[in-house]
Amino acid sequence: MSIKSKSDSYAAAGVDITAGYKAVELMKAHIARTKNEGCLDDVGGFGGCFRLPTGMEEPVLVSGTDGCGTKVKMAILMDKHDTIGIDAVAMCVNDIICCGAKPLFFLDYIACGKNIPEKIASIVGGVAEGCVQSGAALIGGETAEHPGLMPVDDYDLAGFAVGIVDKKKILDNTRMSKGDIVIALPSTGIHSNGFSLVRKVFDIDNNPDSLYTPCDELGGKSVAETLLTPTRIYVKAVLALLESVDVKGISHITGGGFYENIPRSIPDGLCAKIDKSAVRVLPIFDLIMKTGNIPERDMYNTFNMGVGMSIVVKPEEVDTALEILRANGENAYVIGEIINGDDKIILE
């Protein structure tokens, strides 16, 4: 009986080491786009090194980790992998900006049934684009091949972001008061939450081909194209806002929709009163509600409904805030006000 080499045995078990090497080579150009002044080393080390910026009295690191949920299933079904990485970055950096923290760096983790270098590089290309949009450096990551645990075409993607903020500038909602105004930043669509319900509503797993037909309700776009639209990254606009406006609180509206996320930035004794008629609901949500016969409250308790982030400011600073946000690419608008109450949020 011949004795195989260790690398041959690993390949026979379903793990292709050479594919991993090729994937790393293909992704290097993407990673290079994200380099910033804090980066200290190149790809390939055992840890990503990053130099902290100076000039803060009491610097505080803020971290966040997340994935893309079952939106990854849409990317797999459509065989389109170059935008799902934007979602992974967005879910993390949009969270840490709610504390007022500027993203510094990001790391990704990809688990796959089979390492196809071009596919992995495409995924990382999306991650790099998300990092560029948020100003974060992609300083490391991991691709793990899991034969026998995952089907060969499947993968999952998660990420981890670290940001920094001077302690005195951490957003403190205890300064929020009655009369403050709630501003909405529009979403690009479903973002990265609620896809398990979406897949059920449209019967995606059993009838994926129906999603590719142009849809009048979506302005001629297909459901598939609309669902895969990347999560919007709000970092640069919010950082610009924080330089000039006294922001009282920020909520990233993710899983749990309005009812779970807006209250996270509201202190006890106050309530965000949201005017539903002011919310610019995107057509995809109307289509989901109609197709799935879903009650309106459940929609607002699951999806962002067209609002990816809410920001609370003083009434006298609303015009300034809207001007800054719009100058930075966000078509922001007012959706409510802060009132006294114990419910944290009311939609009417």
Edge-first strand listing for the sheet containing 59-67: 59-67, 155-166, 102-112, 137-145
Q: Percent of the chain scored above 70 by pLDDT?
A: 95
Confidence at residue 48, expressed as pLDDT on a 0 to 100 scale: 86
Q: 185 near 332, Cβ under 8 Å?
A: yes
Q: 248 near 316, Cβ under 8 Å?
A: no
Q: Is the pLDDT of residue 13 over 80?
A: no
pLDDT band at 65 (very low <50, low <70, confident <90, very high): very high
Domain ranges of the chain: 10-169, 173-347
**Alpha-carbon distance 79 to 72, whole Å?**
10
Mean pLDDT in residue range 77-88? 96
Confidence at residue 4, expressed as pLDDT on a 0 to 100 scale: 45
Q: What is the CATH number of domain 173-347?
A: 3.90.650.10
- Per the model's pLDDT, the better-predicted residue between 26 and 169 turns out to be 169
Beta strands in the chain (DSSP E): 59-67, 102-112, 137-145, 155-166, 181-186, 247-252, 270-274, 307-313, 333-340, 344-347
Mean pLDDT in residue range 212-236? 94
Confidence at residue 1, expressed as pLDDT on a 0 to 100 scale: 38
Q: Which of 110, 230, 232, 89 is nearest to 161 (CA)?
A: 89
* Residue 135, phi then psi, degrees to nearest 5: 80, 10
Q: What share of the chain is helix, strand, coil (3-state, %, to 5)?
A: 40, 25, 35
Count CB-CB contacts under 10 A for residue 295.
10
- Model confidence, pTM: 0.93
Q: What is the pLDDT of residues 152-175, one digit of tens each?
A: 999 999 999 999 999 999 999 999
Q: Percent of the chain scored above 90 by pLDDT?
A: 82
Q: 122 near 106, Cβ under 8 Å?
A: no
pLDDT band at 12 (very low <50, low <70, confident <90, very high): low
Q: Which of 65, 83, 66, 86 is nearest to 74 (CA)?
A: 83
Q: Please report which helix (H) or strand (E) contains residue 74, including its range.
A: helix 71-78
User: Cα–Cα distances in Å, from 40 out to 35, 47, 105, 314, 332?
Assistant: 9, 11, 12, 41, 37
Confidence at residue 330, expressed as pLDDT on a 0 to 100 scale: 98
Q: What is the pLDDT of residues 114-148, one digit of tens each?
A: 999 999 999 999 999 999 999 999 999 999 999 98
What burial letters (b/e) apply to 90-128, b meaning 16+ CB within 10 Å? bbbbbbbbbbbbbbbbbbbbbbbbbbbbebbbbbbbbbb
Confidence at residue 5, expressed as pLDDT on a 0 to 100 scale: 46
Q: How far apart are the first and last CA of the chain?
A: 76
Q: Is the pLDDT of residue 2 over 60?
A: no
Q: What is the CATH number of domain 10-169?
A: 3.30.1330.10
